[in-house]
């Protein structure tokens, strides 16, 4: 078996800004696993927030043994971007060897489309209102916030898209006091979810706090080992394959989270259709699906994911799985 890694860059359709900074392109790693006539591939987005770089993740992947099998991968790499790309590539490889779809191999029902959020990046209120108006036809908008002056932005988005369902991603940018002050206004403006309002290391303040709008763990939840630390703080967990370290753990985390009474959100980094493809299997029936990465790109993989009014559809076999 041969494992290869390439760094790929996809231009964004517009500048994308969150509270941590702005970007004009998505930098991803593409992993290909070749075994005879069959090749599987997967994608990951190394994330500096978790101490990952393109080089460090590449080194992790290239250090794997040539006789790698998917069942042994979890003993060789920790949860994170490197394991994600390899795990998804191995699922794709096994599907091609067997002539089956991944969901058949995993014992899952055939997937269908899921309505996905569309993300509005952080900007001045007037710009965010214009973004919201442009995308007001979409059923679900996600707003990037996380600054000391977020109320005008939220009011502006609601004015621009009066009928859309709205969720918020604060990207760890609020304090407990800011969240408590904003909470009644979130209810008034019809916000249905708040993602990671407090820093992951400071979220103890959520215990016992009134949460009139469900609060979702993102940076605080990576894999099943994270669940024990979320009790009393969160109502929803955001499952991202680049955090779980692949489809295998993402499916296991979904089942464990649901069994413990959490709702599930399935999210993504800003990546191509190859990164979204396996996540659609995890997103089936989720409270929130946030797999809009390709919608933010100016360019994509040769066989992109298909989006329409029903949402994001399962991947074509020519793309993955």
Render pLDDT for 131-147 as a digit per residue (tens, 0 to 9).
999 999 999 999 998 88
Residue 279: pLDDT over 90: yes
pLDDT tens track for 212-261: 999 999 999 999 999 999 999 999 999 999 999 999 999 999 999 999 99
Instruction: Look up residue 251 and give its two tokens.
Output: 């499916």
Count the neighbouring beta carbons within 10 Å of the beta carbon of residue 208: 9
Among 160, 218, 217, 157, which residue's Cα sits nearest to residue 191?
157
The residue count of the chain comes to 321
Residue 148: pLDDT over 90: no
148 versus 47: the higher-pLDDT residue is 47
- DSSP code for 308: E
Alpha carbon 118 to its chain centroid, in Å, reads 12
Q: Would you put residue 208 in left (φ > 0), alpha (ψ -120 to 50) or beta? A: left
CA gap 171, 95 in Å, rounded: 36
**Is 263 in the active site?**
no
Q: Please give the mean pLDDT across all residues of the chain.
A: 95
Residues 6+ apart with CB under 8 A from 249: 74, 79, 83, 87, 223, 224
- Per-residue model confidence (pLDDT) at position 198: 95
Residue pair 82/61 in contact by the 8 Å Cβ criterion: yes
Residue pair 199/20 in contact by the 8 Å Cβ criterion: no
- Helices 247-259 and 81-98 cross at an angle (nearest 10°) of 100
Among 122, 173, 141, 139, which residue's Cα sits nearest to residue 14?
122
Residue 21: pLDDT over 80: no
pLDDT tens track for 96-118: 999 999 999 999 999 999 999 99
- Give the pLDDT band (50/70/90) at residue 56: very high
Instruction: Look up residue 34 and give its two tokens.
Output: 């070749």
| DSSP tally for the chain: helices H, then strands E | 9, 13
- Per-residue model confidence (pLDDT) at position 101: 98
Residue of 142, 144, 233, 243 with catalytic role: 144
Alpha helices in 135-220 (DSSP H): 151-160, 176-188
pLDDT tens track for 57-87: 999 999 999 888 888 899 999 999 999 999 9
Q: What percentage of the chain has pLDDT greater than the value 90? A: 88
- Per-residue model confidence (pLDDT) at position 134: 95
CA gap 278, 68 in Å, rounded: 20
**Is 144 in the active site?**
yes
Residue linked to tokens 């990576």: 222
Residue pair 89/29 in contact by the 8 Å Cβ criterion: no
CA gap 265, 217 in Å, rounded: 9
Which of 15-19, 154-158, 201-205 has the lowest average pLDDT? 15-19
pLDDT tens track for 154-176: 999 999 999 999 999 999 999 99
The residue ranges of DSSP E strands in the chain, in sequence order, are 2-18, 21-35, 38-44, 118-120, 140-144, 165-169, 191-195, 215-217, 236-239, 263-266, 288-289, 307-308, 311-312
- DSSP for 89-150 reads HHHHHHHHHHT--HHHHTTPPPP--B-B-EEEPP--HHHHHHHHHHTTTSSEEEEE--STT-
- Give the pLDDT band (50/70/90) at residue 1: confident
Count the neighbouring beta carbons within 10 Å of the beta carbon of residue 154: 21
Residue of 142, 233, 240, 243 with catalytic role: 240
């Amino acid at each position: 078996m041969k494992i290869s890694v390439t760094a790929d860059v996809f231009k964004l359709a517009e500048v994308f800004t969150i509270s941590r900074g702005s970007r004009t392109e998505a930098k991803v790693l593409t992993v290909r696993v070749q075994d005879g006539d069959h090749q599987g591939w997967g994608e990951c987005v190394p994330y500096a927030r978790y101490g990952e770089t393109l080089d460090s993740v590449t080194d992790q992947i290239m250090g794997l043994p040539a006789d790698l099998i998917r069942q042994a991968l979890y003993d060789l790499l920790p949860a994170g971007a490197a394991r994600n790309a390899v795990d998804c590539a191995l699922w794709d490889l096994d599907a091609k060897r067997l002539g089956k779809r991944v969901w058949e191999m995993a014992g899952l029902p055939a997937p269908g489309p899921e309505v996905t959020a569309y993300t509005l990046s952080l900007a001045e209120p007037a710009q965010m209102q214009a973004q919201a108006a442009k995308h007001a036809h979409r059923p679900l908008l996600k707003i990037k916030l996380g600054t000391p002056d977020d109320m005008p932005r939220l009011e502006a988005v609601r004015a621009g898209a009066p009928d859309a369902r709205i969720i918020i991603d604060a990207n760890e940018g609020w304090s407990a006091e800011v969240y408590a002050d904003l909470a009644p206004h979130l209810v008034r403006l019809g916000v249905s979810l708040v993602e990671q309002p407090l820093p992951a290391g400071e979220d103890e303040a959520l215990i016992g706090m009134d949460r009139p709008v469900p609060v979702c763990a993102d940076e605080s939840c990576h894999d099943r080992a994270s669940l024990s630390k979320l009790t009393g703080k969160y109502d929803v967990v955001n499952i991202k394959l680049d955090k779980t370290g692949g489809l295998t753990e993402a499916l296991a985390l979904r089942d464990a989270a649901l069994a413990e009474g959490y709702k599930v959100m399935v999210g993504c980094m800003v990546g191509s259709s190859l990164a979204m493809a396996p996540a659609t299997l995890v997103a089936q029936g989720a409270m929130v699906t946030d797999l809009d990465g390709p919608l933010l790109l100016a360019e994509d993989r040769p066989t992109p994911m298909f989006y329409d009014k029903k949402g994001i559809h399962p991947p074509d076999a020519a793309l993955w799985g």
